[in-house]
Amino acid sequence: MTAARALRQIVATTDVHSALDNAAPFLAAAAVTGGAVTVPYWPADSNQPGVVVPRILQQFGADLTYGSDGSLTVSGTDAIDCIEIDLRDASELTP
């Protein structure tokens, strides 16, 4: 089993707390492995810094799909683009 496949299996069975930035590692894992992660009830707008994670991953090349039920799916595309980004408004996301 490849590391990417093992990671997809872990991600597929993990519950994520409602704090949006807690979903970031799982969404990023989908983006970098070419997998997909769906988070139910992703808010269209929020004052949490984590709400920008999907847009950041989209800049890296991930595909975003918003479901009619409020879900968000991030899918990897087998290619990660280099980006330059200012995270001053979401400093909690900066390592």
Predicted TM-score (pTM) of this structure: 0.76
Catalytic residue among 38, 40, 92, 94: 92
Phi, psi at 73, each rounded to 5°: -120, 125
- Which pLDDT tens digit goes with each residue over 49-70? 889 999 999 999 999 999 999 9
**Residue 13: predicted pLDDT:** 60
Rg (CA), the chain: 13
**In Å, what is the CA distance from 49 to each residue of 1, 24, 68, 79?**
35, 11, 23, 25
pLDDT at 84 exceeding the cut of 80: yes
One-letter amino acid of 17: H
**Residue 67: predicted pLDDT:** 95
Active site residue 84: no
Which spans in the chain are helix H? 3-12, 24-33, 53-60
